């Protein structure tokens, strides 16, 4: 690897892009979630075993790119994760980010808004949790709840005390889609890529996962009675998700529908979507100009002079030469 160049080869980058393209909702297309997407799909990967290998290399790739993103400091990335209950958001975050330096990641989860949050415009609380340049931010649920749970339960809107509400509900959701698209456009234009992943779970797999949460004592805490109440509104959620995907998959921030019945596959998909974005950003370690290089050389000479008796002037350089001499060119930088 040449210094400053990303770790992927062009062939790898192409393979990841091709994989991700299949998950993308074409901007402007009309989505019917239950017809258009199969939650059990595992196209492109042979089996769970191969999947584990791919995820491992994906995690390493993400770690490398995250270091570059942090060093480059001009871009930030926001990964928005949406799913129905038991869709696997928590596990996806745990696995996909497992190799990444925690200092470069900021995870925010969103629950029912507090009175304090409701005293602001609806995007306010999401704005507060945005990543900085150099960071990967993850939204575990996101501003999209404002056109999902709020749409399925319009009584939640009353708590938002909106003046000048459009005459029809439908017009209100159109307006929200427009506002969200504009907000994401603004973020993208200013160096923050918005990456959107929807974990698409089947109704039967949700049933099985809920039962597991009831059957396994260590998982009981994850189950709540409201989960079953929301499940009863399955069709309403499917409709709300379909409309959201159709209206907010944009050229600057497209949606990705990830088949989520197989957790191992969903995790690879999420990692691939994130990796693709980072490859596109192509962050670089800052280059040093000749003057700074010269200053570094002077500092180096001073430090070498300070070597105590018997010590090598530059023990690190000696060690490195040793590695290279033993075929240990690990291509680590």
- Applying CB under 5 A, the residues found at the interface with Mg ion are 85
Which of 145, 184, 205, 261 forms a contact with ligand AMP (CB under 6 A)?
Answer: 145
Q: How far is the CB of 173 from ligand AMP (least distance, A)?
A: 14
Between 60 and 112, whose beta carbon lies closer to ligand AMP?
112
> Could you tell me which stretch among 33-41, 92-100, 104-112, 251-259 binds ligand AMP (CB under 6 A)?
104-112
Q: Which of the ranges 37-45, 64-72, 108-116, 257-265 carries the binding residues for ligand AMP, by CB under 6 A?
A: 108-116
* Listed ranges 26-34, 149-157, 235-243, 274-282: which one lies at the site for ligand AMP (CB under 6 A): 149-157
Give yes or no for residue 149 binding ligand AMP (CB under 6 A).
yes
19 vs 241 by CB, closer to ligand AMP: 241
Provide φ and ψ at 76, rounded to 5°.
-125, 160
Is residue 152 within the footprint of ligand AMP (CB under 6 A)?
A: no
- Nearest in space to 78 (alpha carbons), one of 188, 3, 170, 169: 188
What is the DSSP secondary-structure string of 157-215? HHTT--SS--SSHHHHHHHHHHHHHHHHHHHHHTTEEEEEEEEE--HHHHHHHHHHHHH
> Least CB distance from residue 85 to Mg ion, whole Å?
5
Half-sphere exposure of 297 (CA within 13 A, CB side): 7
Residue 119 as a binder of ligand AMP (CB under 6 A): the answer is: no
Please answer whether residues 74 and 282 qualify as being in contact, where contact means their C-beta atoms are separated by less than 8 angstroms: no
Residues in Cβ contact with 321 at an 8 Å cutoff, skipping those fewer than 6 apart? none
146 lies in the site for ligand AMP, by CB under 6 A = yes
- Verify binding: residue 305, ligand AMP, rule CB under 6 A: no
Interface residue with ligand AMP among 2, 35, 46, 111 (CB under 6 A) is 111
**Residue appearing with tokens 């309403």:** 236
Closest to ligand AMP by CB, 19 or 237:
237
113 binds ligand AMP, rule: CB under 6 A: yes
Among 1, 112, 208, 317, binds ligand AMP (CB under 6 A): 112
Half-sphere exposure of 16 (CA within 13 A, CB side): 24
261 binds, among Mg ion, ligand AMP, none (CB under 5 to 8 A by kind): none
135 binds, among Mg ion, ligand AMP, none (CB under 5 to 8 A by kind): none
In the bound state with Mg ion, the residue whose beta carbon lies nearer, of 221 and 316, is 221
CA–CA dist 119, 233 (Å, integer): 28
CB of 91 to Mg ion, least distance (A): 13
Q: Tell me how far CA of residue 211 lies from CA of 174, 202, 315, in angstroms.
A: 37, 14, 59
Phi-psi region of 44 (alpha: psi -120 to 50; beta: other; left: phi over 0): left
Residues in binding contact with ligand AMP, number by CB under 6 A = 11
Nearer to ligand AMP, 41 or 143 (CB): 143
Does 183 contact ligand AMP by CB under 6 A? no
Neighbours of 69 (CB within 10 A): 26
Tell me if 123 contacts ligand AMP by CB under 6 A.
no
Of 85 and 184, CB closest to Mg ion: 85
| 84-103 residues labelled b (16+ CB within 10 A) or e (exposed) | bbbbbbeebbebbbebbeee
Which residue spans within 60-190 are E strands per DSSP?
76-83, 105-109, 136-140
| CA 278 to chain CA mean position, Å | 10
Phi/psi at 31 (5° precision): -100, 135
- Tell me the closest approach of the beta carbon of residue 145 to ligand AMP, in angstroms: 3
Instruction: State the minimum distance, in angstroms, from the CB of residue 311 to Mg ion.
Output: 58
Contacts with ligand AMP, residue ranges (CB under 6 A): 110-113, 141, 145-146, 149-150, 156, 226
């Amino acid at each position: 690897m040449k210094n400053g160049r990303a770790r992927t080869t062009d062939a790898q980058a192409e393979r990841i892009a091709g994989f991700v393209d299949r998950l993308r909702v074409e901007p402007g297309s009309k989505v019917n979630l239950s017809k258009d997407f199969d939650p059990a799909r595992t196209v492109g990967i042979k089996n769970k075993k191969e999947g584990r290998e791919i995820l491992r290399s994906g995690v390493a790739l993400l770690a490398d790119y995250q270091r570059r993103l942090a060093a480059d400091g001009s871009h930030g990335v926001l990964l928005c994760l949406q799913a129905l209950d038991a869709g696997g958001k928590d596990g996806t975050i745990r696995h996909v980010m497992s190799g990444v330096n925690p200092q470069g990641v900021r995870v925010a989860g969103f629950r029912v808004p507090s009175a304090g949050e409701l005293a602001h415009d609806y995007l306010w609380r999401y704005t507060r949790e945005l990543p900085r340049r150099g960071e990967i931010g993850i939204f575990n649920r996101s501003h999209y709840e404002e056109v999902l749970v709020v749409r399925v339960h319009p009584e939640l809107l009353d708590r938002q005390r909106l003046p000048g509400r459009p005459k029809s509900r439908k017009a209100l959701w159109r307006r929200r889609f427009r506002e969200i698209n504009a907000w994401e456009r603004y973020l993208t234009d200013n160096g923050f890529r918005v990456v959107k992943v929807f974990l698409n779970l089947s109704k039967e797999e949700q049933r099985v996962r809920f039962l597991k949460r009831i059957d396994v004592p260590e998982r009981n805490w994850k189950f709540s009675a409201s989960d079953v109440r929301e499940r009863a509104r399955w069709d309403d959620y499917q409709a709300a998700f379909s409309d959201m995907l159709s209206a907010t998959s944009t050229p600057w921030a497209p949606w990705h529908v990830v088949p989520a019945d197989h957790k191992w596959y969903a995790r690879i998909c999420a990692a691939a979507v994130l990796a693709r974005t980072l490859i596109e950003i192509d962050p670089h370690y800052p280059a040093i100009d000749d003057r700074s290089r010269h200053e570094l050389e002077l500092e180096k000479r001073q430090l070498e002079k300070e070597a105590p008796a018997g010590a090598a002037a530059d023990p690190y350089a000696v060690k490195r030469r040793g590695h290279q001499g033993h075929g240990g060119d690990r291509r680590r930088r």
